[in-house]
Structure 1
């Protein structure tokens, strides 16, 4: 499902229309894939009113819903789980939305009408721009394991790159024909700090969804040692959890 769009007119109207169509296709596909590939009962995607400094977002894309109270719902910055992800620009999740004490409950009526309990939200964030927030929701009370969180984060990362490409269509200003020169090759990002071989080895196992006990058994380490390596890697990347760590590692090409 796709909400209404306003297309610009003028010299760049075609590019703006094409970019809007791509955004709708990417976000609609993201909502469906959260349900089809991540085992969620409902997939939602919120679109912010302002990508650079959002104040709110509207739920414009959905899959697996039974009621319509979530359709087009406006979520203010910092409210509910999605508004919190929008404000903090970080993944957030709760095993039981209705009983959660770490979020506001502005949208309980819509959530209850849909029969949702467990909920995960991941922002579609790149270079300080929030392209949206994806929700993965369940109709049961369950904790979100690392594998499912990583799977949703992976889909969000793929969608973010596609949205950034579409956005570039309307922001790039081509130089006059006589002044154009070949663009220099893009420099790969530099690691904030070099990982040790052991940190990298543990990180690669974590990136494919292995739990700390599984990694410890695979590498002949203790769980505390694995946790220590992951915390050290998080510190070097400046991230707060293993989902953000996996995303950062993929951005730097350390994991596939």
Structure 2
């Protein structure tokens, strides 16, 4: 029999048990597999806790709090940066759905006037990079946060700016918010 604790932020949140019906010795491969499974559960719990914390921040009343939307935007950027590290595809898609809800929560103004803007579609990584830029990150900081190289961040940012018709980082962020891609 083998038991591996699931530890999240120095707190035991559960124990994974495994056993064999026959009295056979268990080798290193069994222990390694059990530890890997515990780490997967730990990662899922950390992500779930972080998502709940960030969502609870967005549900707080914003009356009288000038920086409330900046907190929402920062939480959105953190969620976008966290999503690619999720191994579980179902959980990752749920996280992207929450990000979509947050992006729409900004109340992107409907296009009014005689000219209507065309719909802009950005790749998920382009949105991730724009979320970091919107939070004030440099290319190097965005690269570190997203687990990319700075040159890759520049490439994603250039592609997003081209699709949005922007010439500067600020224009790209404003255009993405108007298009409802960022909160």
Report which of the two has the higher share of helix: 2
Shorter-chain TM-score bucket reads 0.3 to 0.5
Q: TM-score, normalised by structure 2?
A: 0.36
Q: TM-score, normalised by structure 1?
A: 0.26
Report which of the two has the higher share of strand: 1
